[in-house]
Amino acid sequence: MKVQLQQVSEKRNILGSDSGIGHALAKYFDNLGFVVFASVLNKKGPGAEELKRSCSERLCVLQLDITSSSQIKEAYLNISEMVQNTGLWGVVNNAGILGFTADGELLPMSVYKQCMDVNFFGHVEVTKMFLPLLRKSKGRLINISSMAGGIPMPRFAAYGASKAALSMFSGVMRQELAKWGIKVAAVHPAGFRTCIQGTSELWAKQEKHLLENLTPDVKKDYGEDYIQALKNFLLDMPVHCDSDLSPVLDDVLHALLAKSPHGLYTPGKSAYLSLCTFCYFPLWFYDFFMGKMQSTKSVPSALKASEAKNKNT
């Protein structure tokens, strides 16, 4: 998509930028001449240090844990002081966590709550805090959701529900903020290779937490072999993800600068196809389609036993 870049240096953005898409966006917009306020979970972490080292002096790295009301307010006060009466042109809500990918029945409630805290409630609070600055500039609000926020996907119950909430919030904000001249967009990327999947050490810790919170009946029905296979699914995810983030960067740029931005962007392979399949085909076909895309050879223990029993009768 082609976008005119007049007076780019006057536009300002805030991003969740420790790693992945947010990190790439911060560098991308800094290179284009934007004044970037890059918020990070750890101001002394490697992601923040890399931004300070590789970007221009225009870029400002800010400490911001979006689950901390005090840090959100502090970031707002710092940015308000720097932008004064010009306001803020764009807020890009990007921070997110995936959690352990497993059947919804297996996930502890703590995973659901953590996903909602980071992927939804944190962004709502940031948005509410910074809207006065967007009103001054009649700027843009962009929420990075996920393909899993627009369509149901097996093993993404907690993550998908939190991203679906963010997508719905974006739609409502798009309608409500139009009267202020603020344009709102949701971005639903397909599978891109970022750090959201975490590390093998983190997966082992999450698997242990999952097993400790299962009731005896559920643990017996699914079996530890099945849960181990779920971890293998997580390990294999990066292989099927695209390392080229340029489709996401281009769409966010369009959402920020186009005179008439789209309300929804679906960058990446299969994102738009999957959404269309869900919206326009019968649900049984969509379920079959998704089952084929995400099928695994692993079967819960109770189902294995049932199948073996049926074969013997």
Active-site residues: which are they? Answer: 159
Q: How far apart are CA 93 and CA 97, in angstroms?
A: 13
Specify whether the CB–CB gap between 297 and 220 falls below 8 A.
no
Cα 78–Cα 79–Cα 84 angle in degrees, nearest 5? 110
Collapsing DSSP to helix, strand or coil, 24 comes out as: helix
The phi and psi torsions of 71 (rounded to 5 degrees) equal -70, -35
Residue 104 neighbours by CB under 8 Å, 6+ apart = 157, 158
Q: Which residue in this structure is represented by tokens 């970037």? A: 36
Residue 223 neighbours by CB under 8 Å, 6+ apart = 300, 301, 302, 304
